[in-house]
Amino acid sequence: MWSASGSFLRDKWSSEDDELAGPSHTVSSRLHDTRIQIVSERELAQLAQVRPLIFSFHEQSAIKDCFKMLQKKVEYEIIQEFMDLEYKNLTGQFNSGNEPCNRDKNRYRDILPYDSTRVPLGENKDYINANYIRIINAGEEYFYIATQGPLPGTTDDFWQMVLENNANIIVMITREIEDRIIKCHHYWPISMKEPLELRNCHIFLENYQILQYFIIRIFQVVRKSFNIKNIVAQMREQRYGMIQTKEQYCFCYKIVLEVLRKIVTFN
């Protein structure tokens, strides 16, 4: 999946690793506002990374056999299998995570990213506790980013990582608080009326749906600023002759100003 501000965010903690905390206020009363929209079935289907398949009779039989095999393994063999994984020698290096300037960016001292697959931030390849994950299963490749629950001081880094890697789905598999210990900083807006304001962008809550075991939230990320000169330079690097005249370059500014004017007028 973090320095944050705003009345809807928690106060900063000096040490999130071991400080006790009260009940989580993630799902506030505002989440039960009947005026809010509900995520459509079409939007839910679009969120799925692995589509359900229609199996033939023989494939269904193979799936049943696989189910029985896994069920037997769970009952008798899974502990030994886990122990085999636990004690394998790890050969990766953790130099970036151990650098003094990066230690405060780690939620846990003993969970650091491998240098070889860590996710770099920006042109300077700045540090975030995250790794690229590539999974191969049945001939299919799946690509993910695995990261820690954000800290107050790494929320901006988290969203920068999301934007730079064009990640369109965030799956949060931890709770904010477990056993009165903070596990994840609140890195998203809880109200459709109040965006999360970060260093370089605003995060808007556009839609959500509360289900039995989890909540789906749809966000819009709006950058605070952009550089027309850099955009034109990137266009020219990829196609010769883009924006050839001064008049065309001035038009780029005029059209942006016109769009912003309409947005301000509409609001």
Residues 98 and 150 in one domain: yes
- Provide the residue range defining the domain that includes 59: 53-88
Residue 97 clears pLDDT 60, i.e. is over it: yes
Residues 148 and 184 in one domain: yes
Residues 38 and 95 in one domain: yes
Q: Residue 133's pLDDT is what? A: 96
Which tokens in the block code for residue 195?
């965006």
Residue 126 clears pLDDT 70, i.e. is over it: yes
Residues 81 and 130 in one domain: no
The arithmetic mean of pLDDT across residues 64-69, rounded, is 84
Residues 21 and 82 in one domain: no
Q: Residue 62's pLDDT is what? A: 80
Lowest mean pLDDT, pick from 18-22, 33-37, 83-87: 18-22
Residues 27 and 155 in one domain: yes
Residues 133 and 262 in one domain: no
Residues 155 and 266 in one domain: no
Is this structure's pTM higher than 0.85?
A: no
SS3 content of the chain, % helix, strand, coil (to 5): 35, 15, 45
Residues 15 and 137 in one domain: yes
Residues 169 and 263 in one domain: no
Q: Residue 159's pLDDT is what? A: 97
Asked if 147 contacts 161 with a C-beta cutoff of 8 angstroms, the reply is yes
**Chosen domain end from 88, 113, 135:** 88
Residues 194 and 132 in one domain: yes
**Distance between CA 206 and CA 163 in Å, rounded?**
17
